[in-house]
Amino acid sequence: MRFSSKVFGVRELGVGEPIGYGDNFVTERPTRVGLVACGYADGYPRRASSGSPALVDGQRTRLIGRVSMDMLTVDLTDLPAAGVGSEVELWGDDVSVNEVAAHAGTIGYEPLCNVKRARFVYR
């Protein structure tokens, strides 16, 4: 199963700015943040930590901040070509669901079973 979404917004943040619920991630350098249309209501693990892997336009990056109900945030600082409309692979061919699950303290089957409201495309 491939679980993907798109970047719907980009924000430039300075040093020392918090991201996400509970301000559990604080920028340590000027940071370019991508807002991704996917959250725990879509089946992405709510407990996934900052550092969880993702692919943006085929380039590996990481989640930063907590996963929200309908949104998560990714680090675009080192991906200057990425922006609104960029494809985000949350797991699939290049990002293992097991790796994502490990960042959430669970097993790969749990996130796979939690995807319910996403549009399914069968190939």
| Domains parsed from the chain with CATH numbers | 3-114 (2.40.37.10)
DSSP 63: B
* pLDDT confidence tier of residue 118, bands split at 50, 70 and 90: low
Burial class of residue 82, CB neighbours in 10 A (0-12, 13-18, 19+): buried
Contact 46, 40 (CB under 8 A): yes
Q: What is the pTM of this model?
A: 0.92
Per-residue pLDDT tens over the stretch 53-110? 999 999 999 999 999 999 999 999 999 999 999 999 999 999 999 999 999 999 999 9
Q: At 23, is the secondary structure helix, strand, or coil?
A: helix
Residue 12, H or E segment: strand 3-13
